[in-house]
Amino acid sequence: MILYRTADALYVEQDGKLYRLVENSLDALIAHDKLHSHLSAHIAKSSPTGDLVHTKLEAPIGNQEVWASGVTYYSSRRARIAESKDAGGGDFYDRVYTAERPELFFKAVAHKVAGPNSHVKIRRDATWSVPEPELTLLINPRAQIIGYTVGNDMSSRDIEGANPLYLPQAKVYDRSCALGPGLLIRSEPMPSSTQIKLDILRSDQTEFSATTTLTELKRDPATLVEYLFRDHTFPYGCFLLTGTGIVPPDSFTLASKDEIRITIEGIGTLTNTVE
């Protein structure tokens, strides 16, 4: 089942049918101790409503912080070693790829997150910007993975490549993170065959397209969550992006008006346009 948020209400979709929820607090749902059964019970006693085709979806987030993992795919390790070679940073990416402790970094607070069919931004002081399509975990306050969504960890490669210590500036700015379109509520892990696809369209033509699967993800999501919650409380739960396995060629940089489409099997497509 998938939860969607609009400006007025929350909805759950199951088997192609949509149901409006009585609650309108996503925070309360995320903190619920039996969310899946709670939503199933609601569906069983409700009648479906019309679809959301003409309704604007909001980012499916309440008061959660958004965190991200880095260098969890070989392709991310390889690209980052190359882009930071001149700055002497390459070795750090190799070390973190093989280390027991993963790279985790703060990405966004809710009000900076872009929702589906809205704009993401590239920094005005960046010359080399890319989207990072990432499976995103929804974690409740008790450190349990209760769902998944599609995430875009927009990144300024030239800024991070100049010095890895610039990572927060390369990664954290207004609308540098997009989430959506909805939250797949599922406590079992996603199948390793799950595909993640990135399409970038420029003037309606495909400028870049690539696919990866979760087989390439080196870290177990449960281990990433265990590290994130060490001596760290999240009273509203949180989101954790799991890293990118798709890096466009070095010649590619995003431009204003590019359309970014990220599709994760079983969850949906997150579409954003570059402002």
Binding residues for Mg ion, per CB under 5 A?
132, 153, 244
Q: Which of 13, 83, 103, 199 binds ligand DO4 (CB under 6 A)?
A: 103
Q: Does 212 bind ligand DO4 (CB under 6 A)?
A: no
Phi, psi at residue 252, to the nearest 5°? Answer: -95, 130
**Closest approach of Cβ 241 to ligand DO4, in Å?**
7
Q: Is there a contact between 37 and 49 (Cβ–Cβ < 8 Å)?
A: no
∠ CA 188-192-193, nearest 5°, is 120
Map residues 107-136 to x or -, x wherever contact with ligand DO4 holds by CB under 6 A: -------------------------x----
Question: Going by DSSP bridges, is the β-strand pair 113-114/177-185 parallel, antiparallel, or unpaired?
Answer: parallel
Q: Does 244 bind ligand DO4 (CB under 6 A)?
A: yes
Cis omega (within 30 of 0) for bond into 181:
yes
Question: Going by C-beta distance under 8 Å and a sequence separation of 6 or more, which residues neighbour residue 190?
Answer: 135, 148, 214, 266
The closest residue (CB) to ligand DO4 is 70
Per the DSSP assignment, residues forming a β-bridge with 137 are 148, 240
Stretch that binds ligand DO4, among 36-44, 67-75, 81-89, 259-267 (CB under 6 A): 67-75
**What residues from 152 to 171 belong to the interface with ligand DO4 (CB under 6 A)?**
153, 167
Q: Are 64 and 108 in contact (CB under 8 A)?
A: no
- Looking at the Cβ atoms of 92 and 236, the one nearer to ligand DO4 is 92
Among 115, 133, 243, 268, binds ligand DO4 (CB under 6 A): 243
Are 184 and 148 in contact by the 8 Å Cβ rule? The answer is yes
Strand, coil or helix: 67: strand
Contact flag: residue 70 with ligand DO4 (CB under 6 A): yes
Shortest Å distance, C-beta 76 to ligand DO4:
3
Residues that bind ligand DO4 (CB under 6 A): 68, 70-72, 76, 80, 103, 132, 153, 167, 243-244
